[in-house]
Structure 1
């Protein structure tokens, strides 16, 4: 049996070595789940490279900003990031995005109009009711309709009227983003009221035993007068002493900020002509249109803010740092109260503080807002700010996505706000664990970013890879998956060994048994 065992062992070695000698199989790129959905890559390779996005929010409410730590998956990295708000909610979000380097073909141009978005301690779930349009394939007409805000845990803080939006995303099969319009999103709201309560303040008028005591700027007599003054107000601190309680006779709900007129927002990304060159530049634009804003509407201390000049934020990327720029038209706001002008907010004067206080003398049921020349104890400040323009830029020298082509160019971006309203506590409000800002409302928040390769964006037909044919046709049937562990090889080895074992058993059972030989007796010697 030694001779038959040799070819059997050789066959076992050959069968076991077959998986190792075979051509390695890679996991294929997954195709679309929906048969009508475009695949990941279509057509020949694009020679046009451009990235741009713009975002505009009609209003963003932040509760206790800078009070929640930022959580990350990297140990210790969250301590290096700025703290977040305890809760955030945005209304009327319009976003436009263009990315020629996107892995999925239908993410190269995206436009969406969302009724709202919210986050609690940095966690933001997906918001339903959004109008979204993607390309490719191309879309000849925009998607328009009414936006219905979903129910959120912050519904008690904001009241939204009729919301409308539109989204339009386009893409050319040969020239890519060289089409007009490219990505355009718009939202508008007919009415809006924000913050009819301040959850970070106590909901009671009696602060006895709640103040920290020993406040450097308050003696015992002043602290007691603060407690007694709050007891006489018509509402608790969470309602700003009754300023946010509304009007019981009409049933109207009070709010810190409200919009009596329609507010429009638009975000767009497009390719524009580059002077002295046949190439294009990437332009991202965020615009706002507002008429007026009311603070504490319906109360005797109502403040009116008229928008004299509309803000526009633009980022233009040409591929060169010397010619790329951020352009911002700062808004001009006039602030008045009861026909008396409190101030003007513009680029030269971007900040205005309006105090909220309790009168030391008198028997008033509501706090005094913005009044001067009276003896009062300030318990809060309404800080109005505009612009807050922040710019950032970077030189591009590498792939914009994994395994993508190396692109050299320039990228820049900026953020700005039409009106930023902060409710700040003062030292007189000696409550423990108060954040630096009780609440923050950003009206008309704008974000833009644009990136272009050196020399500008080339608008040329797509390039067919060497060998012709563009993208190879997918193989028929289900392709094999990649071998990602040694477990794939143990299965054929197991069955091969079992088959050889059974073959050996059959061979042993089939061969005839040999009879033992009788010992040969030598003949007797003839002595």
Structure 2
């Protein structure tokens, strides 16, 4: 045993020291299980660099906007970020994205059409019913189909008719994003009614004891007049005094905003010719098509909004700040009530306020909206706004993803809205904890972004991965994982000790048993 103990100890020391002296390895880039399928990773650095996004939403409803603090894991940083809405819900979202710097191959081009998206206090779960198409590999045909809105906690706020969607994502194995288009998404809705109730207003018709004591511009007599006037209306404030209660004789449900005709959204990202160069420019486009909008449809106070023109928002990036630009074709909205024009909304006149008040005559059971009748006290304002174009731009000088090549270029983006409808309270409503805006409906939200390297996009063949297209080579300049000594040594030590223990058991079992004969003194003889 002593002769075997020394070699066994030497083997144990050598096996334990091997992991410490070996060169540490890093986690390899995962490859596809099927060698015939496209690579999971992006492979070698692409020669063509394109980033573009275009998103269009048919309608977005916000309850109590700018009322909820933004949550963040950074201490104190939530106070710096802008506040969010208490609840948000979007209808008919069309999104087109192109990103040659994406690590995953199927995220280079993405087209998506969603029937619905919602968020409660900034938390947005993933909604089902979406159709999406990704590339690479290339898709010869688009995907089309109907979109079924899922059940949400905010179903009482809107009613959505038939939704249709179409998505198409393209990619060329040799030229990458040099296809037409890279990503394209469309959505359309046949009918839509928004804000069938105002949850931020009380549902009781009697406001006795609910008005605050420090209500400005109202004395005790005016407060009592407000309470008595609201009691005489056909519904509570949450139904806007009966304006949102619908028509019982026809069974129709009332709504603040409705669309009698089809509203469609179109988002696309593509490459276009660059004048005086063989290279290309990145173009992201968001387009809306609508005919008319109704406010308080079916009531005597109905307001009609006719849309003249097709709003189009475009971001064009050539890679240079001097030639890149944002182009916006603003719509013209004609607002009328009972055949009388209330105003025109355009780029020169982007805002129009329509008051809502308690009628002077006691026999009227509905609030007076706009110019139809006299009001003795305004309880709310419908604020209509158009365009609201916001632009941002930045110069690029660095990698667009970790470990990627340094790219110098230019990126720009913009947002716009077809119609922004806000329901604002007046000083007469001295209710506690009342937000500055009771509800907000954004009809036709548009977002675009485009980025390109200096000189434009070069449409050159992408290097073929090693081995003919099986598994792509790992990305360059990727930092290695941290080498933890204990993790690499624990497993070898465990198995080495186990093996030596088994060897010892076998050796001990195979050795013959030796008995030591001890000298024994003879017992004294009996006398």
Task: Tell me the TM-score normalised to structure 2 length.
Answer: 0.91
Q: Deviations over 1:398-456 (max 9, x none)?
A: 11111111111111100000000000001100100011100000000000000101111
Structure 1 residue aligned with 2:293: 293
- Write the mapping of 1:63-462 to structure 2, written as runs, cut at 5 A: 63-371=63-371, 374-462=374-462
Cα offset, 1:352, TM superposition: 0.3
CA pair 158-490 structure 1, distance change in 2 beyond 3 A: same
Matches of 2:53 and 2:510, distance apart in 1: 78
Taking the aligned partners of 1:498 and 1:40, their CA distance within structure 2 comes to 39
Residue 22 of structure 1 deviates from its aligned partner by 2.7
1:220 and 1:501 map into 2 onto residues whose CA distance is: 94
Q: Distance in 2 between matches of 1:494 and 1:264?
A: 65
Distance 1:485 1:440, change over 3 A: farther
Deviation of the 1:11 alpha carbon: 2.8
1:9 CA displacement: 3.9
Deviations 1:318-377 (A, max 9, x none): 111111111111110000000111000000000000000113443310011112783520
Asked whether the 8 Å contact 2:96–2:184 carries over to 1, the reply is yes
Residues 271-306 of structure 1, C-alpha deviation per residue, up to 9 Å, x if partnerless? 001111111010000000100000000111100000
CA distance in 1, matches of 2:290, 2:503: 87
Contact kept in structure 1, 2:87 and 2:121, CA below 8 Å: yes
Structure 2 CA distance, aligned partners of 1:305 and 1:77?
A: 41
> What CA distance in whole angstroms lies between the structure 2 residues aligned with 1:387 and 1:206?
39
In the aligned structure 2, how far is the partner of 1:387 from the partner of 1:77?
Answer: 31
Q: Quickly say closer, same or farther: Cα 1:193–1:507, change in 2 above 3 A.
A: closer
Distance 1:372 1:129, change over 3 A: closer
Structure 2 CA distance for aligned equivalents of residues 498 and 57 of structure 1: 63
Separation in 2 of the partners of 1:469 and 1:140?
26
Q: Is the 8 A contact 1:136 1:170 kept in 2?
A: yes
Contact 1:44 1:471 in 2 (8 A): no
Q: Show the counterpart of 1:524.
A: none
CA pair 299-401 structure 1, distance change in 2 beyond 3 A: same
- Flag the 1:452–1:504 CA change in 2: closer, same or farther, 3 A: same
The question of whether the paired residues in 2 share the 8 Å contact of 1:92 and 1:187 is answered with yes
- TM-score, with length taken from structure 1: 0.91
Deviation of the 1:214 alpha carbon: 3.0
Q: Distance in 2 between matches of 1:373 and 1:145?
A: 47
| 1:336 partner SS | strand
Q: Is the 8 A contact 1:47 1:462 kept in 2?
A: yes
In 2: Cα distance, 1:121 partner to 1:504 partner: 65
1:495 is displaced (CA, Å) by 3.8
Superposition deviation, residue 40 in structure 1: 1.3
Which deviates further from its counterpart, 488-497 or 420-429? Answer: 488-497
- Contact 2:39/2:470 (8 A) holds in 1: no
1:33 CA drift (Å): 7.6
2:478 aligns with none
For residues 182 and 488 of structure 2, what CA distance do their matches in structure 1 show? 48
Q: Which runs of 5+ in 1 are unaligned?
A: 476-480, 517-527
Partner of 1:50 in structure 2? Answer: 50
How far apart are the structure 2 equivalents of 1:463 and 1:244?
62
Give the SS at the match of 2:106: helix
The whole-number CA distance in structure 2 between the counterparts of 1:92 and 1:473 is 38
Q: Distance in 2 between matches of 1:335 and 1:262?
A: 19
Aligned residues: 511
Give CA deviations for 1:100-138 in whole Å, capped at 9, x if unaligned: 011111110000111111111111111111111111111
Change (3 A) 1:35 1:66: farther
Q: Cα offset for 1:395?
A: 1.1
Distance in 2 (CA, whole Å) between partners of 1:212 and 1:35 is 71
Unaligned runs of 5+ in 2: 474-480, 518-527
Give the 3 Å change call, closer, same or farther, for CA 485–227 of structure 1 in structure 2: farther
Which moved further from structure 2: 495-504 or 13-22? 495-504
SS in 2 for 1:437: coil
| Aligned equivalents of 2:500, 2:259: Cα separation in 1 | 84
Query: Does the 8 Å contact 1:139/1:169 carry over to 2?
Result: yes
Q: Which is worse superposed, 309-318 or 3-12?
A: 3-12
* Alignment correspondent of 2:492: 492
Aligned equivalents of 1:192, 1:512: Cα separation in 2: 94
